[in-house]
Amino acid sequence: MSWFLALREDAGHAMQGGGGRQWESAQSIGFVKAVSWLLHADLSVPHAGFPVPNILETSMFRRASLFALFVAPVILQGCGSDPTASAPLTAVASVVPAGGSAGVDPTAPIVVSFTGMMQPGMELYAALHEGDVTGPVVPGSWTWSADRTSLTFTPAAPLQSQTRYTLHLGGGMRDASGRPIDYGPCLSQYGGQWATSGMMDGGMMGDGSMMGPGWRAANGTYGMVFTFTTA
C-alpha cells in the first residue's frame, strides 16, 4: 500500500510538509486555523500489519479512521505543546536533617535532594542560620552533585553543640526547565514550614537580602524552613 496526504489552508494554499509514511507539517497548525485534507491511497499493494481493507470497509468508518490515523496526529503536532507543561514539578526528595530533628551530629553535612535536575546557581537560594530564620547565616560552602539533584552544605567549622539551627530554602529555586520547585512533600514528610513574611520580620534580613523577588514563592512566602537541634 502507498499513500500521500495533502493539507490546504482555508485560503486554498497548500501546506508544506512531508516525511514518508508519517506526514509532518513544515509550518505551525493551530486550533484556530482551518485546514482541508486530501488522502490518496493505493490499496493494490498489501502492507503487512496494516489491515487497510478492514479499516475502509464502510464510508463512514473510512472517514473516522483516516482522521484518527492521519489528521489528528498532524493537528496535535501543529499545536506545538510543551511536553514539560504537563510533567510533574520537580519536588524536594529529602532533607537531612529533617525539620524537628534533635541530637544532630554537629560535624555532619546538611543535604537536600530533589527529584530532578536543578538549574545552576540555585545554591544562592539556600542558607543555614544559627537560631531561627532571623539569625546569622552560618559560614560554609554549598556544592551540587554531578547530576545536580543533590545540594550539600559543609560548614566552615563544626556546628556548635546543643544549638538550634534553621535551614532556609528560598522560593526562587528552579529546576533545569526553569519551573518552580514543589515544596509540598516538605510539609508532610520533612518537617518543613513555609517562611512567611511574619517570620522574616525581626532582623533576619535586616538588609533585605533574602526578601527580594528571587526568594519569594508564588504563594507569597519566602520558601521553606527546617529547624533542628545539634547534639
Q: Where are the domains of the chain?
A: 2-78, 92-229
CATH assignment of 92-229, given 3.60.15.10, 2.60.120.480, 2.60.40.3710, 3.30.720.200? 2.60.40.3710
pLDDT of amino acid 52: 43
CB neighbourhood size of 125 (10 A) = 21
Among the ranges given (41-45, 97-101, 163-167), the one the predictor scored with the smallest mean pLDDT: 41-45
Residue found under cell 532582623 = 203
Euclidean distance between CA atoms 221 and 164, whole angstroms = 22
pLDDT band at 125 (very low <50, low <70, confident <90, very high): very high
- Whether pTM > 0.75 for this model: the answer is no
pLDDT of amino acid 3: 45
Residue 208 pLDDT > 90: no
Name 63's bridge partners. none
Q: What is the mean pLDDT of residues 108-124?
A: 96
Q: What is the mean pLDDT of residues 53-69?
A: 42
All three cell numbers of 221: 512566602
pLDDT of amino acid 197: 85
Euclidean distance between CA atoms 56 and 74, whole angstroms = 20
Residue 78 pLDDT > 50: no
Apex CA 214: angle with CA 184 and CA 96, to 5°? Answer: 45
- Given a contact cutoff of 8 angstroms between Cβ atoms, the answer to whether 149 and 113 are in contact is yes
